Amino acid sequence: MNLDAAKAPGQCVHEEWPYEPRFKRVNGWRMHYIDEGSGDPVVLLHGNPAWGFLYRKFIKPLTSARRRVIVPDMIGFGLSEKPVREQAHSLDGHIANLTSLLRQLDIRNATMVCHDWGGPTGLGFALSNPDRVRALVIMSTWAWPLPPAEFHKRIFPWRMMHAPLVGPYLLGRHNALAGRGMYLSVVDRKRFRDEAQSAYENILPDPAARLLTWTWPRWIPLDDTARGLERFRSLERELKKSKFPTLLVWGREDEVFDHKTFATRFKELLPHAEGPELVTGRHFLQEDSGVEIAEKINNFLDRIDARHP
Amino acid sequence: MIGIEVIDKPRLDGKRKALVLAEDRVGHYPEFREFFVRRFSLETNGLSRPAYVRAPSGMIYSLVFVGRSGEPFPDGIEIYALADALEPLSEGDVDTDLWALLSWMIDGIGGEWKVEDLDATGRLYQLPFLSDRG
């Protein structure tokens, strides 16, 4: 296992990540993405504190099924530029970053695969660019203004972890979210530690590079004074009206965005959605069930193709 | 035992200010900002001077309060170790000193914010210097 993200932007060596790094400027930032295969595009969107590597087990099954796979690293994560000021980040800004990338690539007929903060950003893109989107796959995320889970209202450990000064210390100096935090949020922890954990930790080599790991949690609305509240309200409102074919995939063991609360809520907003299809997984279900989820996406898209040949 | 002592401005001869922690949004939870305003009389003092504390290692730290147009003051805080000018920092000492400072802050904020929750969070994320504290 060898990953040295600190060498230079875009240089990353890992046997499970052989993909050519590509870059576009979005809103003045340098965004990294990979673009593999050909066919209708599937856009795989990660959240906090991950990067495209989270989807490494999806790429071959999807490209083998003649699909084009685009995996961006959110500005602030992975091999993308990492602004060092909290004020550089906003939910609208991240939606606009994704929009810039996908418009530059002139993406059409896309399937948006949304996880964690890839949910509000990916859904934000889909709902404001419906002419470019074909379908949605939604996993372990939310798209409404109220606190997403009881977990997020508790001081221990969630609010304490990213509290003023505590966040820069614990998640900055000690990289707690990319290391221990992800480790606690998978089912097969030994395999994760042996095969993947360092790839998430090493891509955020310095405290300043980890800023978004404590900034994103501060964008989760906890009351009606929260930043981003209006965007979440509009996501909920527009999602309810949308008719995108949708597949819900959830981790059976996900105790933060538990499927009984969150997948059920998405089903209320999107009664036509398929699923939830439950797989082995906590919040980072891609780590435990990557290939299985990729096959579910292929089958879902095959069913759409069959309905609309 | 938190071990943070608020002190007057120390002698700065032969010292350098080494930035060790920065917070861009101290009012994310307003009670955090209110603690610093209250503890250092910032409504009166404003930007006129930093605050100084002595931490358990004996190192003195300055707390620099940062203002931002349109936001309540302070909006940010920068913490500097006042290190011997040409000497490197002991990262281990800085780590435990900052943890003591965080504990002092949480203790001062009070209410629903409790030092035991901070400690539990630090243990959950396996801060090495907490591992032998049970």
- B86 min Cα distance to partner chain A (Å): 23
pLDDT classification of A110: cutoffs 50, 70, 90: very high
Asked if A174 lies within 8 A of B29 by C-beta distance, the reply is no
| Residue of chain B minimizing CA distance to A86 | B24
Name the residue facing A161 among B23, B106, B121 (closest C-beta): B121
The CA-to-CA distance between both ends of chain B, in Å, stands at 15
Q: Answer whether A212's CB lies under 8 Å from A82's CB.
A: yes
Q: With beta carbons under 8 A apart, name residues in chain A contacting B112.
A: 155
pLDDT classification of A125: cutoffs 50, 70, 90: very high
What is the rounded average pLDDT of the residues B42-61? 95
3-state helix, strand, coil in chain B (%, to 5): 35, 25, 40
Would you call A275 an interface residue with chain B, using a CB distance cutoff of 8 Å? no
Mean pLDDT over all residues of chain A? 94
pLDDT, tens digit, 9 for 90 and up, residues A41-90: 999 999 999 999 999 999 999 999 999 999 999 999 999 999 999 999 99
pLDDT score at B2? 72
Does position A13 have pLDDT exceeding 80, yes or no? no
pLDDT, tens digit, 9 for 90 and up, residues A157-185: 999 999 999 999 999 999 999 999 999 99
Interface confidence (ipTM) of the complex: 0.97
Q: Answer whether A31's CB lies under 8 Å from A75's CB.
A: yes
pTM: 0.95
Asked if B127 lies within 8 A of A174 by C-beta distance, the reply is yes
pLDDT score at B133? 54
Find the helix or strand (DSSP H, E) in which A102 lies.
helix A91-104
Sign of CA dihedral B126, B29, A165, B105: negative
Q: Of A132, B67, B22, B84, which is closest to residue A124 (Cα–Cα)?
A: A132
DSSP for B22-38 reads EES-GGGSHHHHHHHHH
The dihedrals phi and psi of B81, each to the nearest 5 degrees, come to -80, 135
Inter-chain contacts counted by CB atoms under 8 A, chains A and B:
75
- Residues in CB range of B45: below 8 A, 6 or more apart: none
pLDDT score at A6? 43
What is the rounded average pLDDT of the residues B4-12? 96
Does position B94 have pLDDT exceeding 60, yes or no? yes
pLDDT classification of A3: cutoffs 50, 70, 90: very low
